Amino acid sequence: MIQVEGLTQSFQKRNVLEGVSFYIHPGEFFGVIGPNGSGKTTLLSTLSGVIPVMKGSVRLEGKPIGNYSRKVLARCVAVLQQDALPPVGFTVREIVEMGRYPFQNWLGDDVPEAGQLVDSILEKLDLKRLQGRTLEQLSGGERQRVALGKVMAQQPRLLLLDEPTTYLDIGYQIQMMDYIQEWQRETELTVVAVLHDLNLAALYCGRLMALHDGKIAGIGTSEAMISGEMIKSIYDTEPVVLRHPVVQVPQILLQPGK
């Protein structure tokens, strides 16, 4: 699905990413972790086509990402951010329908099935009862479900997540990630998730890539990447690493510095 080779991105004469190379299989749930300033957001912006490739290559389904037009790319790639909804005033249904923009013709017409698709998404995300409300009438968790509905309506083959659970309480965090994982498994969607919460990353991602100072510190399973040694090397803190008693993936407990 994605092949990145020797990617180097520089801003103001400083390398934000340096010689980054990795691949992502179709249908994979791939996590990107690392401290602030490690290059995660720049990487995601490059994969989405927002930032052009300066050095190296990024190929999407075998084709250089720079060769895609914006509209064609929008039919393939969707981005879910921390808070990327339009200004207040739009209803829940109108926002979800905005995800259909890449498929509309110059008159604004879509395929006849688009209305049924939006209905099914509203039903799946428990938004049907809220479809007539505007954003300012929603809680933070409901707003993020609407944002997810909008990218689902886009029907992408690649979903990029930029810390989508940052402002959510723990209940909404799990709900959001469960919705995404169910969608990913049902449609064989490829997901690349930038996550600060390492426990969530271990629970949902099949493989993790750790970035540190713009370089890859490691790529592997959560068992390989969520270790005391790895966490200390990239975050400069020593956590307690335990195994989840139900799903058997590593989880971390923070401890005060000495």
CATH number at residue 157: 3.40.50.300
Q: What are phi and psi of 176, to 5 degrees?
A: -60, -45
Better-scored residue on pLDDT, 84 or 213: 213
Q: How confident is the model at residue 100 (pLDDT cuts 50, 70, 90)?
A: confident
Q: Is residue 256 part of a domain?
A: no
- pTM of this prediction? 0.89
pLDDT in tens, 4-56: 999 999 887 788 999 999 999 999 999 999 998 899 999 999 999 999 999 99
Q: Is residue 185 part of a domain?
A: yes
Number of domains into which the chain is organized: 1
* Nearest to 20, CA basis, from 212, 198, 225: 212
Predicted confidence at residue 110, as pLDDT, reads 60
Q: Is residue 19 part of a domain?
A: yes
Q: Is residue 247 part of a domain?
A: no
Q: Is residue 255 part of a domain?
A: no
Q: Specify the DSSP class assigned to residue 86.
A: P
* Nearest to 40, CA basis, from 66, 20, 65, 14: 20
Q: Which domain holds residue 173?
A: 2-226
Q: Is residue 173 part of a domain?
A: yes
Q: What are phi and psi of 242, to 5 degrees?
A: -120, 165
Helix (H) or strand (E) holding 191: strand 190-194
Q: Is residue 124 part of a domain?
A: yes
Residue with tokens 């510095």: 257
Q: Is residue 191 part of a domain?
A: yes
* Nearest to 108, CA basis, from 117, 98, 96: 98
Tokens of 68: 């895609």
